Amino acid sequence: MNYYLMNDNKIIFFDTDKSKILNTLEFMPEFSTEDIQETEREIIYRNDEFVFADEISDELLSDAIEQKLEENKTAYNNALKSGVVYKNTLFDCDTLAAVRIMGQMVAAQAAAIESEDTIDWFDYNYVPVTLTITEFMELAGIVTLNTRRIETLNCSYNTAIRAALSMEELDTIEISYSDTNLPDIQDSASSGEEEAEK
């Protein structure tokens, strides 16, 4: 229960403890105990005033949607920055990393260096790493699929967040870019390579 005082149709003070309202009246002689109103409605502080939450539900939902979108944006960027582990080594998996790998693959085909046994690459911290052609192709598959997974999740979350019609619906959207399925992605990449070699 909320207890409150109003003046000029504005809530000037409220509390869930009626005794605090009564104590406040000692310093507000223009009000009496008869002026104390009570309600089950939620009262919040917004834009420097107390208001009933249900009277600005659309504004609150709009603000919550924007906050949720920012939450997803942060989670999305962190997921891209977290990288992927291949052969016990951490590699970049963001969009730029995918572009670099695709560029290397194109260059390899153009220069016919696929006949070479190895490719010199670099890990997450730009430490040189030597990979066999097969290993590089597996890494390329993992990075590409993981990046695609993250991009797909990002799009799905943004769509669901913007479509939310209530706070309750918005609260059901749990944002997670967990890479627990990454081993499956690696297996898929390896299987793809095996199919390509047949």
Residues 110 and 33 in one domain: no
Identify whether 96 is part of a domain: yes
Q: What is the DSSP string of the chain?
A: -EEEEEETTEEEEEES-HHHHHHHHTT-TT--GGG-EEESS-EEEETTEEEEGGGGHHHHHHHHHHHHHHHHHHHHHHHHHT-EEETTEEE--SHHHHHHHHHHHHHHHHHTGGGSSEEEEE-TT--EEEEEHHHHHHHHHHHHHHHHHHHHHHHHHHHHHHH--SHHHHHT-------TTHHHHHHHHHHHHHHHH-
Q: Name residue, tokens 């989670």.
A: 75
Identify whether 100 is part of a domain: yes
* Total domains in the fold of the chain: 2
Q: What would the mean pLDDT of 172-182 be, rounded to a whole number?
A: 75
Residues 27 and 76 in one domain: no
Residues 35 and 130 in one domain: no
Lowest mean per-residue pLDDT among 51-55, 126-130, 171-175, 179-183: 179-183
Residues 28 and 116 in one domain: no
Identify whether 50 is part of a domain: no
Residues 32 and 65 in one domain: no
Q: What is the C-alpha to C-alpha distance for residues 31 and 158, in angstroms, rounded to an integer?
A: 49
* 197 pLDDT tier (thresholds 50, 70, 90): very low
When mean pLDDT is compared over 42-46, 157-161, 185-189, 193-197, the highest value belongs to 157-161
Q: What is the C-alpha to C-alpha distance for residues 104 and 12, in angstroms, rounded to an integer?
A: 66
Instruction: Render pLDDT for 50-76 as a digit per residue (tens, 0 to 9).
Output: 989 888 889 999 999 999 999 999 999
Residues 63 and 155 in one domain: yes
Torsion, Cα of 22, 24, 28, 30 (10° steps): -30
Nearest to 179 by CA among 73, 98, 84: 84
Residues 138 and 108 in one domain: yes
Residues 97 and 19 in one domain: no
Identify whether 190 is part of a domain: yes
Residues 36 and 62 in one domain: no
* 108 pLDDT tier (thresholds 50, 70, 90): low
Residues 67 and 23 in one domain: no
Identify whether 74 is part of a domain: yes
Q: Name residue, tokens 């659309």.
A: 58
Q: What pLDDT is attached to residue 59?
A: 92
Q: What is the C-alpha to C-alpha distance for residues 96 and 107, in angstroms, rounded to an integer?
A: 16
Q: Give yes or no for residue 180 having a pLDDT over 70.
A: no
Identify whether 45 is part of a domain: no
Instruction: Render pLDDT for 114-163 as a digit per residue (tens, 0 to 9).
Output: 556 788 889 999 899 998 888 888 898 888 888 889 999 999 999 999 99
Q: Which residue segment(s) compose the domain that 72 sits in?
A: 58-197
Q: What is the C-alpha to C-alpha distance for residues 25 and 100, in angstroms, rounded to an integer?
A: 70
Identify whether 171 is part of a domain: yes
Identify whether 180 is part of a domain: yes
Residues 107 and 20 in one domain: no
Main-chain dihedrals φ then ψ at residue 89, nearest 5 degrees: -125, 135
Residues 178 and 107 in one domain: yes
Q: What is the C-alpha to C-alpha distance for residues 113 and 105, in angstroms, rounded to an integer?
A: 10
Residue 186's CB: how many other CB atoms inside 10 A? 19
Angle (nearest 5°) at CA 45 between 33 and 59: 130
